[in-house]
Chains A and B, each alone.
Chain A
């Protein structure tokens, strides 16, 4: 699988954002991040109803080797979280852009986001 997928937007902190025609956006972490983290064993997500702020921490991702902050790539209200990844954090490794999504936000303001090309270039890779 490619480490970076076209049609998504990316933050410098390795989150991806999937637009949805003006509806809530899905957010996850990229394969670049999961590769660097190693096997993820625990994830702490914001709760439904929380307001997250672009560029600020909103949770934690813990792998066998380390703990990393989860940064919100956009500002808005959390409308849904993925209970499957809380129970089975390995989904984030196996399918970071699919079943490993983390939460959905009704966006009031976008953070600084990159295109797939820009994100791939920033991480020394290609699409």
Chain B
């Protein structure tokens, strides 16, 4: 299997990163300490290379109708300049990927434009699936993942840092940008102003931005952001801290919480599925049946948050117990750096999913007490 490297690989190496394979990509796991990277994002700012994520353009007269058919959400209802979290499902309701889709200003001829952002390991599959589902629509599906880098600045100081690179007459575009919205904005890189797509999104539970940039400009943008962040506590942050940050924020990770074998209702993503939209979509019949059967509410298992009462953390695939009987399985877990106690996401039998329910996690043969809590574990104060 070929190993993919992002356009920022040399920057990471220079910064002393240790690398890990993620979805076929060599990505920085951490630069020094994943705990200090985690805390920097919560208290100041962190800089992430997310270039392993996919970017797929969907354009054409039928773009909105096509996405309504291909994805579980109602993308035609998304306003220009806004983003929506959605799912691409199999006909049986299984989850192929979770995605963020941006609706961007229409082309001069009025043609609708969407940018679909799948997860790293799923990007080729999602692009292929979208192309296949597009057969009866007048749209173009264009996978530009290989040419596109994605850099995120996350944390309470993110806006201040970013503004130092934005021409003064465009500051309001940034300061007025709402969460889950995107805009094209000028960003100064080495004296030249580049027009780049800027989104106020993230996977950390903090305020922050994600910047889409052509590979060729990515190293200079990375350096410019690092320099702009000096004095504002910005440090490069790896995937280890990204994982602990998203877990505290109660956000699912594809491959851990979400899979083709699971379904949106069990994962707590029922609201993301628009059964109400008039048009048919892939998975609609199966998802309607799952919902009618009470999946994730009265039958099967449901994704919950668990808070550890001791010091030991549950890990992915550890069994969840009630009175010694297996009633679920951990999908993600670790000690929470911000909260100071172990946290975990786990699928448990729905009748044991109420907050306050006492459960145990089988920690390599030893039952350790946990309690069901409501998600997210961590919410920033505004």
Q: Bound state CA distance, A42 and B244, in angstroms?
A: 16
The answer to whether residues A64 and B311 also contact, given A35-B18, A38-B240 and a CB cut-off of 8 A, is no
Interfacial chain A residues near B382, Cβ < 8 Å: none
Which residue of B is nearest A35, CB measured? B18
The A contact surface, by secondary structure, is mixed
Convert B191-219 into 0s and 1s, putting 1 for each residue whose CB lies closer than 8 angstroms to a CB of A.
00000000000000000000000000000
Bound-complex Cα distance A39 to B241 (A): 11
Q: How many residues of A contact B (CB 8 A)?
A: 12
| Whole-angstrom distance between the Cβ of A47 and the nearest chain B Cβ | 16
Name the interface size band of chain B. Answer: 10 to 19
Are A64 and B334 neighbours in the complex by a CB distance under 8 Å? yes
A residues within 8 A CB of B18?
35
B interface secondary structure, majority: mixed
Specify which chain A residues have a CB less than 8 angstroms from the CB of B240 in the assembled complex: 38, 64-65
For window 31-72 of B, CB contacts with A under 8 Å fall at 33-35
**Would A67 and B364 count as touching, CB distance under 8 A?**
yes
B246 to chain A, nearest CB (A): 13
A65 with B335: CB separation less than 8 A: no
Contact, CB under 8 Å: A42 / B312 = yes
CB distance from B244 to the nearest CB of A (A): 6
Residue A66 at the chain B interface, CB threshold 8 Å: yes
Which residue of chain B has the shortest Cβ distance to A36 in the bound complex? B18
* Contact A64 B335, beta carbon cutoff 8 Å: yes
Contact of A31 with B by CB under 8 A: no
Cross-chain pairs A/B with CB under 8 angstroms, 20 sampled: A38-B29, A38-B33, A39-B33, A41-B313, A41-B335, A42-B311, A42-B313, A42-B335, A62-B312, A62-B335, A64-B34, A64-B35, A64-B334, A64-B337, A65-B34, A65-B240, A66-B315, A67-B315, A67-B364, A90-B35
